[in-house]
A and B are shown apart, each in its own frame.
Chain A
C-alpha cells in the first residue's frame, strides 16, 4: 500500500511569467490612460438640465404673474383707488401746466368785474373760451367724478390729459414797466397788434380798479395817438383826460393807476401801472 504524501503538492511550479506579469502590474496601471466616458457625466448632466429647467420655469412663471398683475390693474374693482390717484395727479399736473392761461383769465376777469365794458368783455370772453377749450380736457378729471367720466374707471390713453400750452394770443397784455406820468402815457408795442384802421385806445383804472371816464371803450376820451411807427414797432401816446376835461374827461389825484391800451377789436395791447404825484 502506498502512502499519500501531500508534500508532493508543494512541488507545483508557478511559471515565472506569472511573477513578471504580477510585478509589472503597477507600471501597467500607471501607464494606463484614464478613459472618461461621457456616460459618467450623465448624472451631472441630468442635474444641470433639471436645474436649468426649473430656473426657466420660475422665470416664465414670474413673468406670467407680473403680466397678470398688469392686466388686473386695469380692472376697476381692484384698482379704482390707484386710478383716482392717477387722475388727481394728472389734474394737479394740468393745473400747474395751465397756470399761465389761468392767470390771464383771472386778470381779464378782474377787468371784467370792475367795468363790464364791451371790448373788455369781448377780450375776456375770447380768452376764457380759448383757455377753456385748451384746458377743458385737463380740467375734466379735476371737476368731474371719475366714475361719471368713465364707468370703468379707466382713463383710456386717448382721453389721457395732455399738457396744454397757454394760447399765444396777440391780445395778451404786455406787462409794461411803470411809466412816469406827466399827463401823457407813452408805450411801445409791435405793429402787429394793430387792427382795423389802426386806432388805439387806452383806459385808466384807479386804485380800486374802477374805470375812469367814459364807459364807452371807443369814445374819443379813450383814444390814443399813434406816433413814430418804425421797424415793426409802433409807439402810442395817450394824453389823459385831465387835459380833455372839456370833452368829458376826468382829473387824476395822487395815487397809483393802471392803464390798458387796446386796439379796435378790444384786444389788449399792453397794460401797466403809473403813479401820480
Chain B
C-alpha cells in the first residue's frame, strides 16, 4: 500500500498529532461522545480520501478543524429530530476533576460561543484565523468572543478571564 503523505507526514502521524484538537472540537460542538466519534472518524476519512494541497501545517490544521465543524453541523441537521441514547441514559462527558467545572460551564454555552472560545483559548487561534476557519468576519468573531466570555462568566461565576 502506498503511504499517503501530508506535508511529509504520514496519515498516522497526522491523526496522532491532531486527534486531540479534532476530538475536542467535535465534543465541544456535539456534547456527546458517540456522535463526536462519528464526526471525528468522518473528518479523518475525508482527509484520507480527498486531501487538498496543503501549503503548511497551519493550513492542514485549519482545514481539519473546518471539516470537523462542518461534519458536526451536518450531523446536527441530520439528527435534528432524533433522540440520542446518550441523552436517555444521561451519559454525559466525563471530565477530569480539575477541569470539570470549567468544561461544564463551557458546555452550557451556545455552540457558536463554544467554538469561538475553544479555538481562541485552547487552540490559541487569533481572531483573523478563527474568522477564516469559521468563514465569518473578524468583527463577528470579536462579538462572539465578548458575548461568550460574558455568558461564561455568568455561568461559571468568575470575575475575570
Contacts and interface: CB of A to CB of B under 8 A. Distances in A.
B12 A8 contact: no
B24 A9 contact: yes
B102 A12 contact: no
Interface stretch (A17-25, A129-137, A172-180): A17-25
B89 interface: no
B48 A6 contact: no
Q: What is the interface of chain A mostly: helix, strand, loop, or mixed?
A: helix
A3 interface: yes
Nearest to A12: B24
A12 B103 contact: yes
B125 interface: no
Contacts of A5: 102
Contacts of B160: 1, 3-4
Interface string A184-198: 000000000000000
A8 B99 contact: yes
Contacts of B23: 12, 14, 18
Contact of B158 (A3, A7, A15): A3
Interface string A5-40: 111111111110011011101100110000000000
A25 B51 CA distance: 14
Interface footprint category on B: 35 or more
17 contacts: A1-B158, A4-B156, A4-B161, A5-B102, A6-B122, A6-B161, A7-B121, A9-B121, A11-B95, A12-B23, A12-B24, A12-B103, A14-B40, A18-B19, A23-B12, A26-B11, A29-B49
A26 B1 contact: yes
Interface residues of A, number: 24
Interface of B: 1, 4, 11-12, 15-16, 19-20, 23-24, 27, 33, 37, 40-41, 44-45, 48-49, 93, 95-96, 98-99, 102-103, 105-106, 117-118, 121-122, 152-153, 156-161
B40 A9 contact: no
Contacts of A4: 102, 105, 152-153, 156, 158, 160-161
B154 to A, nearest CB: 11
Contact of A2 (B1, B37, B157): B157
B152 A8 contact: no
Contacts of A11: 95-96, 98-99
